[in-house]
Amino acid sequence: MSFSVVIPARYASSRLPGKLLLDLAGKPVLQRTIERALASEAGQVVVATDDARIAELVRTTEARVVMTSPDNATGTDRIQEAADILGLRGEEIVVNVQGDEPLIPVAAINQVARNLAEHEQAGIATLCEEIAEEAEFADPNAVKVVRDEQGFALYFSRAPIPHGGAAQALRHIGIYAYRVELLNRFVNWPQSDLERSERLEQLRALSNGVKVHVGVSTECFPPGIDTKEDLAANTAYLATR
């Protein structure tokens, strides 16, 4: 199995500006994310950015940097542009790792790539985990996913689904593997009504008939970094390792 990791990286952040360059236990957040990606089975790790400060950091690591347009509306658009610049072929697999996930399990990166490679009918693969608490089940920030018997997504929602409570629910984890040919089509589709309603980009794929494989993660996912509190929590977590 061969795949690339592409990390879309913007400097701007509404809740925590410049968070990718903030210190996390002695290293910038983005550097720690890159190190996790480099420890995976990926053939290459690429950071796609439009910011010179981020590019400067990446050049101190073993990852490659690709400068992309500042006009990209989403991280998926930035990943597609990077894949095009890199000359990746349509059948190749790209894993999207978010730059603000410095504790992402290495096994999860390999798992999502492998799941896509093993399911030829899927254009996208992603992961989920069981929901343990009713509060998380009701939280609109915790995206729920319902799967069919073969592990393909039926629907993603911020609503508490399926009916029956947390014991039957799965929380979606925002790591994706794409086939490049799907990426090339995806960025040319308009937003779907469901995508706008739920504010979930993956519903654009479902609305256009794309099969999305959703595997249950073999590893627990520590929280990413969106706020100062998240940064402090990640720092505390690393201190216990």
The CA distance from 63 to 147, in Å, is: 35
Beta strands in 123-221, from DSSP E residues, in sequence order: 124-130, 144-147, 153-157, 170-179, 212-216
Give the three-state DSSP class for 107. helix
The 10 Å CB-count burial string (b at 16+, else e) for 100-116 is bbbbbbbebbbbbbbbb
pLDDT of residue 221: 87
17-21-23-25 Cα dihedral, nearest 10 degrees? 120
Comparing 47 with 164, the larger pLDDT belongs to 47
pLDDT at residue 14 above 80?
Answer: no
Best CA proximity match to 61, nearest among 25, 31, 18: 31
Q: Are residues 142 and 199 in the same domain?
A: yes
pLDDT of residue 103: 95
Last residue of a domain, which of 101, 117, 152? 101
Residues with Cβ < 8 Å from 241, sequence gap 6 or more?
none
Q: Are residues 48 and 150 in the same domain?
A: no
Q: What is the pTM of this model?
A: 0.95
Question: pLDDT per residue over 85-133, tens digit each?
Answer: 999 999 999 999 999 999 999 999 999 999 999 999 999 999 999 998 9
Q: What CATH number is given to the structural domain containing 146?
A: 3.90.550.10
Percent of the chain with pLDDT over 70: 100
The answer to whether 236 and 194 are in contact (CB under 8 A) is no
The owner of tokens 């039926």 is 154
Q: Which domain holds residue 184?
A: 105-221
> How many distinct structural domains can be found in the chain?
2
Q: Are residues 129 and 177 in the same domain?
A: yes
Residue 229 lies in a domain: no
Work out the widest C-alpha separation in the chain, in whole angstroms.
Answer: 50
- Highest mean pLDDT out of 3-17, 143-157, 216-230: 143-157
Tell me the residue type at 32.
Answer: R
pLDDT of residue 209: 97
Q: Are residues 112 and 194 in the same domain?
A: yes
Residue 236 lies in a domain: no
pLDDT of residue 13: 78
